[in-house]
Amino acid sequence: MSMQQPTGSVLTHLECSKTGETYDADSLQNLSRAGAPLLARYDLARLSLSPADVAAAGEPNLWRYRALLPVRDAAYIHCLGEGWTPLLPAERLRETLGMRHLYVKDESVNPTASFKARGMAVAVARADELGAREFAVGTAGNAGSALAAYTAAAGLVAHVAMPTDTPRAIIAECQALGADLALVEGLITDANAHVQKGVRESGWFDMATLREPYRIEGKKTMGYELFEQFDGALPDVIVYPTGGGTGLIGMWKAFDEMEQMGWIGSERPRMVSVQAAGCAPIVRAFENGETHAEPWQDAATMASGLRVPRAIGDFLILDALRASKGTAIAVTEEAMHAAWGEMASQTGLMVAPEGAATLAALHDLLSQGLVDRDDRVVLFNTGSGLKYLEAWFGAPGEGGPR
């Protein structure tokens, strides 16, 4: 083994998101005894880290925040260029919408062309450091290719299960990256069930959304990046396409950490969850004033990242939406497809349908007066549209192939 290369991580322990019970952060962990996600906690009082320090180190990827991430020995980091994605002023879209401060955070430039790379980069490195060798994930698609990429880079094993109708580009990507790939009839929930036998009997480490503590840590870096990219401030509104909700929960956690470090006060952006009308458990629960979301029956949408009928972090998503005075909004397939072409042709970004969903939602938010034309608004484009050719060519309605 090479010499230790300390990252300066101030990780202290894990905490159950339901009960507050603490857990050891230096052994492999999945859910808490209460069956809830575990959240990483840091000694932020001990850390004297300013935004200027982060900027001065200048690392052009999410490891610029390594002191605030769980990996202790940098030898376990196999960076493929994840994070530090551009925040783009969407100038032509602004004009069309009569807005002054609209931006797109373009996550499609991440490794494996989606923001799943952020979570997997951190979680694979940390689990490798703690001794995991074989990893498993049931996924709607992009989490599988991200896991496959980071295990490939580290020389580890990925067992990936995903629905048979996952976009073919993602299937090809997983195969090429060397994952042990199973195609399963059904949805992400069925894919998750499929890998459980290996998790139980062969000791594969379960990397499913929020079932281990560190994908959320990778995703929280989006919140830190927004703060840096807005020159030490946060936007007014974040519009986020929500499946399992890791990114939303992660950014919300980042804002709390930033407040504890004195980077910000108690101000927060309004968080908006966007889901597809064909799978909108969070929107339904938000509208009904519920703290948990009932599973969605017969989930269907071309935005495969949003085809998540049941989210284990539902209560955390709903908490963040309400605490931020945000909202949740569902968009139809037709609106999503129309917004796909609109967003691409007015920004120059071949966005994923999940990213297009945020523009479809913005139209509704503006017409309902929930977002002001002067607000500083960030749309998250979470992946590349080049992975979704079947959806583009096969889509319903007038937004179809041209």
Ligand X SMILES: *Cc1c(COP(=O)(O)O)cnc(C)c1O
Footprint of ligand X (CB under 6 A): 114, 116, 142, 209, 241-247, 305, 352, 354, 382-383
Cβ of 368: how many Cβ atoms within 10 Å?
10
The residue whose two tokens read 């519920």 is 290
- Rounded to an integer, what distance in angstroms lies between the CA atom of residue 282 and that of residue 318? 7
Q: H/E element holding 183? A: strand 180-184
Work out how close the CB of 223 gets to ligand X at its nearest, in angstroms, rounded to a whole number.
12
Q: Are 239 and 342 in contact (CB under 8 A)?
A: no
Q: Are 312 and 244 in contact (CB under 8 A)?
A: yes
Work out how close the CB of 354 gets to ligand X at its nearest, in angstroms, rounded to a whole number.
3
Of the pair 156, 251, the CB lying nearest ligand X is at: 251
Work out how close the CB of 240 gets to ligand X at its nearest, in angstroms, rounded to a whole number.
7
What's the token pair of residue 308? 């998540």
Work out how close the CB of 85 gets to ligand X at its nearest, in angstroms, rounded to a whole number.
13
Work out how close the CB of 215 gets to ligand X at its nearest, in angstroms, rounded to a whole number.
9
Q: Indicate the DSSP class of residue 301.
A: -
Work out how close the CB of 114 gets to ligand X at its nearest, in angstroms, rounded to a whole number.
5
Work out how close the CB of 116 gets to ligand X at its nearest, in angstroms, rounded to a whole number.
5
Beta bridge partners of 399: none
Of the pair 7, 381, the CB lying nearest ligand X is at: 381
Of the pair 352, 362, the CB lying nearest ligand X is at: 352
Of the pair 61, 304, the CB lying nearest ligand X is at: 304
Closest CA to 375 of 105, 102, 95, 90: 102
CA distances from 386 to 17, 68, 77, 148, 390 (A): 36, 33, 28, 19, 10
Of the pair 7, 358, the CB lying nearest ligand X is at: 358
Q: What are phi and psi of 284, to 5 degrees?
A: -60, -45
Of the pair 235, 383, the CB lying nearest ligand X is at: 383
- Rounded to an integer, what distance in angstroms lies between the CA atom of residue 205 and that of residue 182? 16
Of the pair 269, 383, the CB lying nearest ligand X is at: 383
| 3-class SS of residue 240 | strand
Q: In angstroms, how far apart are the furthest CA atoms of the chain? A: 60
